Amino acid sequence: MSFNIAIDGPAGAGKSTIARKAAEMLGFIYVDTGAMYRAIAYYLLKEGIDPDNTEAIAAACTGADIEIRYEDGEQIVLLNGENVNSYIRTEEVSIMASRSSAVPEVRQHLLELQRSLARTHDTVMDGRDIGTTVLPDASLKIYLTASDEVRADRRYAELKEKGEQVSYEDVLKDIRERDERDMNRSVSPLRRADDAHLIDSSYMTPEEVLLEIMSLISSTGTE
Ligand code: DC
């Protein structure tokens, strides 16, 4: 049976950095489910779908065939056969992904892909509902969070580095709005699973978070 580590938490908590490094250390695959939602959002934007039109999103999402490949350990998201990794990290896609991921048909569309990756590989999978819905029997569950301001600082630095013209205030506002939507949607809202270990990374380095996760794994056992 495969060993699956579920890491959930709000935007900017450091999930992808931590999950990627943990996967590398353990020789597991890193499954970034946010990237799958982003690829669908990118598709919907290209199709000109209105983010407020739930029915149109539900109908259109089936046209987005999502596949995952790994190149040098890096997860590549294929949207209808095309590598879309370099298009899905903009604020526009983030906002659409937060809206479209609340639509049940979009979630259903990705669920089997996520579960089948976990069945066939040892994984570190990050997202919002991994420990609660996608892999309720995950071997280890982590809920990784940090204060709004720390998360906005991190996101702002990331966007600036990519040359995006954004203000810190807008990034903080977007983060709070996304939290609000992710935590209050009716299907698979972001919440800590009862058996998830809480890690607040506000004042921790990535190395400290990784150490804590590795020690949780040792106490869980990988057999
Ligand atoms: O982790 P991220 O910022 O790349 O995720 C993009 C959006 O996708 C986020 O607003 C919430 C959504 N998402 C989700 O609903 N469920 C997941 N398992 C992963 C992401």
Mean pLDDT of the chain: 94
pLDDT of 70 > 70? The answer is yes
72 CA distance to ligand 1 middle (Å)? 24
pTM of the model: 0.93
CA distance 27 to 222: 12
Q: Judge whether 223 lies within some domain.
A: no
CATH number at residue 15: 3.40.50.300
In a domain, 140, yes or no: yes
Residue 36 CA, ligand 1 centroid: distance in Å: 8
| Residue 88 within a domain | yes
pLDDT (tens digit per residue) in 105-120: 999 999 999 999 999 9
Closest among 139, 116, 117, 114 to 129, alpha carbons compared: 114
Residue 205 lies in a domain: yes
Say if CB 108 and CB 61 are below 8 A apart: no
| Res 222 pLDDT > 60 | no
Structure tokens at 40: 């669908």
Confidence band for 223, pLDDT divided at 50, 70 and 90: very low
Ligand 1 contact, 98 CB (< 6 A): yes
6 pLDDT higher than 90 = yes
**Domain extent at residue 31:** 4-218
CB 192 within 8 A of CB 8: yes
> What is the whole-number distance in angstroms between the Cα of residue 10 and the centre of ligand 1?
8
Alpha helices in the chain (DSSP H): 15-26, 33-46, 54-60, 91-100, 104-120, 148-161, 168-184, 206-220
> 31 in ligand 1 pocket by Cβ < 6 Å?
no
Is 9 among the domain residues? yes
- The reply to whether 163 falls in a domain is yes
What residues pair up with 144 in beta bridges, in sequence order?
199
Domain count, the chain: 1
If one compares 165 and 144, the residue with the highest pLDDT of the two is: 144
